[in-house]
């Protein structure tokens, strides 16, 4: 999880490990990507060694590199480590 402050707003980002249960992966068409404000032109697979040896400039953002560095160093946490508290005060 990453927390950042930008322009007075707080951003909380969660990242999840996943695997493909079935089917193939692919890139969505441009019209679909535009709806999500995305511009993905290529998809590639990397093993842990390749990721560890990448230059910082190879990543789409510093945040992405930091996320993967934590994963490479074994910093993963189960979903039950996240607690949601709903509290209303009058």
55 within some domain: yes
Task: Provide CB contacts within 8 A for 66, sequence distance 6+.
Answer: 2
62 within some domain: yes
> By three-state DSSP, how is residue 82 classified?
coil
Query: What pLDDT score does 3 carry?
Result: 82
Tens of each residue's pLDDT in the chain, 90 residues: 778 888 888 888 888 888 888 988 889 999 999 999 999 998 888 999 999 999 999 988 888 899 899 999 998 877 777 776 676 766
Query: What pLDDT score does 35 carry?
Result: 95
31 within some domain: no
Whole-prediction pTM: 0.64
Query: What pLDDT score does 76 carry?
Result: 82
Do 42 and 28 form a contact (C-beta atoms < 8 A)?
no
Task: State how many domains the chain has.
Answer: 1
58 within some domain: yes
Query: What pLDDT score does 90 carry?
Result: 62
- For β-strands 2-6 and 9-13, DSSP reports them as antiparallel
Query: What pLDDT score does 50 carry?
Result: 96
Range(s) of the domain holding residue 55: 45-78
């Amino acid at each position: 999880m990453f927390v950042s402050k930008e322009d007075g707003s707080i951003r909380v980002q969660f990242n999840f490990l996943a695997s493909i249960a079935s089917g193939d992966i692919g890139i969505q068409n441009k019209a679909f990507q535009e709806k999500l404000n995305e511009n993905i032109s290529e998809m590639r697979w990397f093993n842990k060694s390749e990721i560890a040896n990448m230059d910082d400039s190879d990543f789409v953002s510093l945040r992405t590199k930091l996320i993967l560095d934590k994963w490479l160093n074994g910093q993963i946490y189960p979903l039950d480590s996240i607690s949601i508290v709903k509290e209303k005060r009058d």
